[in-house]
Chains A and B, each alone.
Chain A
Amino acid sequence: MICDTVQERLDELALARTLEAGVASEGLHAHVGQCGACGSHLHFLQQLGDALADGAVEPVAPAVVSAAQRRAARVLRARAEPRGLGRELGAALAVALLALPLVVVHAYLVVEGAAWLLATWVPEPVLAWLGVVYLASLALGVGALYGIIPLAVASRRRSPMETA
């Protein structure tokens, strides 16, 4: 019997944790008993098996398993509901649009009130220019705010996957 073949088989038996039983059942005893190299290899594998078997690790903590379940479930949920985006965005925009009439009324009152207060001292073209600048700034602010809404909704939907 070729020693390389025997030693490879001994390796396989040791790794499968069936060294002793395998040596006996496969009739390797005779060769291993007579061959110094294979006998020494068997002795090494027995020691290796003992050393590896000693290397028990602490069992996983239940809290770690629960955390894994929570995080993975959150990701699964987030990935399972991609079609809710349009509805969620629509709801956010609808709520934001409710505030729009208030903004318009408020802007009208501010412009009218300022015109009434300043009409005596400020020439009309300057008043008109101030009114235009104020309304343009307000429109820009409101537009930017509404523009952020889709980004905020998308970011809120992505966050469970990123923090998981």
Chain B
Amino acid sequence: METDEELMAAVARGDERALVVLIERHAARLHGFLSRFARDRDDADDLLQDTWVRVARGAKSFDPNRRVRPWLFGIASNLARDLHRRRSVRLRASHEGSGEVAAAAQRAVLRPLERMDLRERLARLPERLREVLVLRFYEGLDEAEMAEALGVPRGTVKSRLHGAIRELRRGWEGA
């Protein structure tokens, strides 16, 4: 069986069959990550397709010394973050001037942690913490792979992972 890196080299030469094999091999895991990270199935569907379009566009410039899996998750993660950022800007703009909506949003954010279950708390974790937790727990990426995917030092990944657990534990004793 060809490795991901061999397939990617073939994709860089314009081999469509290699691209199809890569997509079949990684689509389920990438979609799982995107569903959990983006928290919306339709968004995950779109982001999955955009990820592979970006892979096809960037195939020629792919560094053969890199590993494919972290690169794929890095692309998916960047796209999901971009989408989230665009949504946040739009939401903020539409809420401006609407005092009632803003107050309701603030009440929701300030809901005591004790009343939330762990899954709800995971969904409310800051993006950078949720991202590493999902990549590690569900997708099984190790610290080195996550560092490569997210473009941050390994120590940062480690501290984010422990930070995510600390954040989830905060208030757990009182729950």
- Give chain A's interface residues, CB within 8 Å of chain B: 8, 11, 14-17, 40-41, 44-45, 47-48, 51-52, 54-55, 57-61, 64-65, 67-69, 71-73, 75-77, 79-80, 161, 164
- Chain B interface category by residue count: 35 or more
Tell which of B32, B52, B122, B169 touches A68, judged by Cβ atoms closer than 8 Å: B52
In the complex, how many residue pairs between chain A and chain B have their CB atoms under 8 Å apart? 109
Tell which of B23, B36, B168, B169 touches A57, judged by Cβ atoms closer than 8 Å: B36
The 6 sampled A-B contact pairs (Cβ below 8 Å) are: A57-B36, A65-B23, A69-B19, A73-B16, A73-B19, A79-B14
Q: How far is the CA of A136 from the CA of B78 in the complex (A)?
A: 56
- Assess the A40–B48 pair: CB atoms within 8 A: no
Q: Which residues of B contact A68 (CB under 8 A)?
A: 23, 27, 48-49, 51-53
Kindly list the 7 A-B residue pairs having the minimum CB-CB distance in the complex, ordered from nearest. A80-B14, A60-B31, A51-B118, A72-B52, A75-B56, A57-B35, A72-B56
Q: Which residues of B contact A48 (CB under 8 A)?
A: 118, 165, 168-169
Q: Which residues of A contact B173 (CB under 8 A)?
A: 40
Question: Given A11-B165, A17-B137, A51-B117, are A64 and B49 also a contact pair (CB < 8 Å)?
Answer: yes
Closest A residue to B18 by beta carbon equals A76
Mask: chain B, 150-175; 1 = CB below 8 Å from A; 0 = not: 00000000000110010011001100
Q: How far is the CA of A45 from the CA of B49 in the complex (A)?
A: 35
- Assess the A76–B118 pair: CB atoms within 8 A: no
- Assess the B23–A76 pair: CB atoms within 8 A: no
Considering the complex, which residues of chain B in the window 123-163 have a beta carbon less than 8 Å from any beta carbon of chain A?
Answer: 133, 136-138, 161-162
Q: How far is the CA of A57 from the CA of B119 in the complex (A)?
A: 13
Q: How far is the CA of A111 from the CA of B49 in the complex (A)?
A: 58
- Give chain B's interface residues, CB within 8 Å of chain A: 11, 14, 16, 19-20, 23-24, 27-28, 31-32, 35-36, 41, 44-45, 48-49, 51-53, 55-57, 59-60, 117-119, 122, 133, 136-138, 161-162, 165, 168-169, 172-173
Which of the listed residues A16, A48, A64, A76 has the most CB atoms from chain B within 10 Å of its own CB? A76
Q: How far is the CA of A60 from the CA of B169 in the complex (A)?
A: 31
- Assess the B133–A15 pair: CB atoms within 8 A: yes
Closest A residue to B133 by beta carbon equals A15
Q: How far is the CA of A48 from the CA of B118 in the complex (A)?
A: 7
- Assess the B49–A73 pair: CB atoms within 8 A: no
Q: How far is the CA of A161 from the CA of B23 in the complex (A)?
A: 18
Q: Which residues of A contact B161 (CB under 8 A)?
A: 11, 15
Q: How far is the CA of A67 from the CA of B31 in the complex (A)?
A: 13
Which of the listed residues B35, B48, B52 has the most CB atoms from chain A within 10 Å of its own CB? B52
A46 to chain B, nearest CB (A): 11
Q: Which residues of B contact A161 (CB under 8 A)?
A: 57
